[in-house]
Chain A
C-alpha cells in the first residue's frame, strides 16, 4: 500500500497532538476519553423512505448511505481489532526483548571467554619459547657443568609458572560450564514464549511471533556454534598443554640431570 500521509506516522501525530495540548483528554492509548460517542452515534441513520414515484436519485442516495454505514461499522471493528492485537504484540515483544537481552549477555560472555582463551594461547606460545630457551640452557649447562645455582633458581620459577597455568585452565573450564547452563535456560524460555504465542491463536500474530522466535533461535544457534567452537578449541588447547607438559617434564629431567651433574662436579672438586 502506498503512503498517502507521507511523513506523518502515529507517533509523530500523537506527539504533536499532546505536547502543547492540541487535543484534549487523550488517554495513554490516544483516545479522547470524554468523547466516545454513545449508542451508534456517528453511524448513518437508516435511509429515509423512498418518495413515491421518484426512483433513480433516491435509490442512488440510499445506496451510498448504506455503504457509508457499512464502512463506518467496518472501520470501528478493525480499529478495535488493531488495538487488541497491539496489546498482545506488546506483551510478547516485552518478553522477547528480555530474551534478546539475555542472548546479548550470553554473546558477550562468549566473546570474553574467547579473548581469555586467546591470551592463554599467546601465553602458552610464550612459554614454549621459554621452554626452548631453558632446554637450550640446560643443554648448555650440561656441557659446561659449571653454574648449578642459577639453574636451580630457574627450576623454582618453572614450578611456580606451572601452578599458575593450571589455575587458569580451571577457571576457563568453569566459565564454559556456566555458559552451557545459560544457553539451556534461554532455550527453555524461548519454548515458553512459543507456547504463549500458540495460545494467542491469531494467524497474523503467529507469523510475527514465529519470526521473532526464529531470530531468537538463530541467536541461540549462533551461541551454540560459538560454544562448540570454544569446546573444540579447549580440547585442542588441552592437548597442546599436555604436549607442553611432556616437554616440560623432559626439560625438567634434563635440568635435574644437569643440576646433579653440577653437584657431582662440585663434590668431586671438593
Chain B
C-alpha cells in the first residue's frame, strides 16, 4: 500500500482541490483509493455534502478506536472511498491536536487501510507542520507539495523545505515525491516567472511536468462540492490534467495501471 500526503506551508494553494481530483483520477485508473481528510477544518467533507460534514471520521478513528470500515464513505466512483475529518469534540480539541503530532496516533488508520485492501491512501492536510498535519507527515511514505504559481507563494518554499528537513532529521521516513505547480495562469507573466523559478531552483525533475492551470472551473466545482470531472456530461479538460498527473505519479511510485495493460484487441466491428 502506498501512503501519500498532500502538504504545503502556505494555505489556499490548492491542496484540497489536488487531493480530491487526484484521488478520483487514480481511482478511475483502477486503484483502490482511500482519500483521508486530515484537515481539522474538514475541507473535503465540507465540500462534498451536508451529511458528510456531520459524519464521524478520522477524529473518531484516532481518538475513540472506531473502525475505518464503518466510517469511510462510498462514492460514485466504485474504487474510491473517503474518510472525512469527523466531529472534533471542542473539549478535547487541544489534547487531540497534541496527540495528533505523533505518528502512533495514525498507525490504526494505515493498518486498517492496508487490511481493507486499499492500494493508495491520499491524505489532504491543513497547511503548515503541526497537529495532525505533522503526525500524517511522520506516517506517510511520500509527500506531494503543491506550489502555487503566484509571486507571494514563493516565500514559503525555502522555509518549508527547512521544516521538512528538520522532520527528516528527527527520523521521519517520508520523501518528497514531487512538487506540483498549481494555479498557473497563462495570462500572467508573473505567474509563469514563478513557475520557471521553481523549476530552476529545485533539482531536475523533482518538479512534476504536469501543472494545474488556474481555471474558474475549480471554483465552480468546489461551490458545488464536486470533483471537476462531474461538472459536465463530458469530462472537462481540467479533469484530464489530473489524469495526466496521476499517470506521472504512478511512474514515480513504480505503479503500473491497469489502463496501461493491453486489451483484447479484437476487431472493432462485430457484425453487419
Q: Is the interface of B mostly helix, strand, loop or mixed?
A: helix
B157 engages A23 (CB within 8 Å): no
Which of B69-121 touch A at CB < 8 Å?
none
- Which chain A residues border B175 with CB–CB below 8 Å? 21-24
- Tell me if A127 counts as interface (CB < 8 A to partner B): no
- Which chain B residues border A8 with CB–CB below 8 Å? 154, 157-158, 161, 201
Q: How large is the interface on A (under 10, 10 to 19, 20 to 34, 35 or more residues)?
A: 35 or more
- Which chain B residues border A68 with CB–CB below 8 Å? 184, 186, 211, 213, 241
The residue on A at minimum CB distance from B191 is A4
- Which chain A residues border B208 with CB–CB below 8 Å? 42
Among B210, B215, B243, find the residue whose CB has the most chain A CB atoms closer than 10 A: B210
Q: How large is the interface on B (under 10, 10 to 19, 20 to 34, 35 or more residues)?
A: 35 or more
The residue on A at minimum CB distance from B217 is A61
Given A64-B186, A76-B209, A83-B204, A7:B158 Cβ within 8 A: yes
Rounded to whole Å, the gap between the CB of A12 and the closest CB of chain B is 7
Given A34-B254, A71-B211, A44:B241 Cβ within 8 A: yes
Docked pose: A231 CA to B236 CA in angstroms:
82
- Which chain A residues border B213 with CB–CB below 8 Å? 64, 68
**9-residue interface stretch from A25-33, A191-199, A260-268:** A25-33
B158 engages A6 (CB within 8 Å): yes
Given A20-B165, A32-B203, A64:B215 Cβ within 8 A: yes
B197 engages A4 (CB within 8 Å): yes
Rounded to whole Å, the gap between the CB of B223 and the closest CB of chain A is 17
A10 engages B234 (CB within 8 Å): no
Q: Mark B194-211, 1 if CB is under 8 A from A, else 0.
A: 101111111111101111
- Which chain A residues border B209 with CB–CB below 8 Å? 37, 41-43, 72, 75-76
**9-residue interface stretch from B28-36, B47-55, B56-64, B245-253:** B245-253
Q: Mark B227-249, 1 if CB is under 8 A from A, else 0.
A: 00000001111101101100110
- Tell me if A201 counts as interface (CB < 8 A to partner B): no
B203 engages A5 (CB within 8 Å): no
A23 engages B206 (CB within 8 Å): yes
Q: Mark A27-71, 1 if CB is under 8 A from B, else 0.
A: 001111011111001111101100100000000011011011001
Docked pose: A14 CA to B192 CA in angstroms:
22
Which of A73-93 touch B at CB < 8 Å?
75-76, 79, 82-83
- Tell me if A150 counts as interface (CB < 8 A to partner B): no
- Which chain A residues border B165 with CB–CB below 8 Å? 16-17, 19-20, 22
- Tell me if B193 counts as interface (CB < 8 A to partner A): yes
Which of B152-200 touch A at CB < 8 Å?
154-155, 157-158, 161-162, 164-165, 168-169, 175-176, 178, 184, 186, 190, 192-194, 196-200
- Tell me if A160 counts as interface (CB < 8 A to partner B): no
- Tell me if B151 counts as interface (CB < 8 A to partner A): yes
Rounded to whole Å, the gap between the CB of B26 and the closest CB of chain A is 15
Docked pose: A36 CA to B211 CA in angstroms:
16
- A residues apposed to B, CB below 8 Å: 1-10, 12-14, 16-17, 19-24, 26, 29-32, 34-38, 41-45, 47-48, 51, 61-62, 64-65, 67-68, 71-72, 75-76, 79, 82-83
13 contacts between A and B (CB under 8 A): A3-B197, A4-B151, A10-B201, A16-B164, A22-B164, A30-B203, A32-B203, A32-B206, A37-B248, A51-B234, A64-B186, A68-B186, A72-B210
- Given A35-B205, A68-B184: 14 more A-B contacts, CB < 8 Å: A6-B154, A8-B158, A8-B161, A23-B176, A32-B203, A34-B252, A35-B251, A36-B205, A41-B209, A42-B209, A45-B240, A45-B243, A45-B244, A61-B237
Q: Which 3 A-B pairs have the closest CB atoms?
A: A42-B209, A30-B203, A8-B158
- B residues apposed to A, CB below 8 Å: 151, 154-155, 157-158, 161-162, 164-165, 168-169, 175-176, 178, 184, 186, 190, 192-194, 196-206, 208-211, 213, 215, 234-238, 240-241, 243-244, 247-248, 251-252, 254
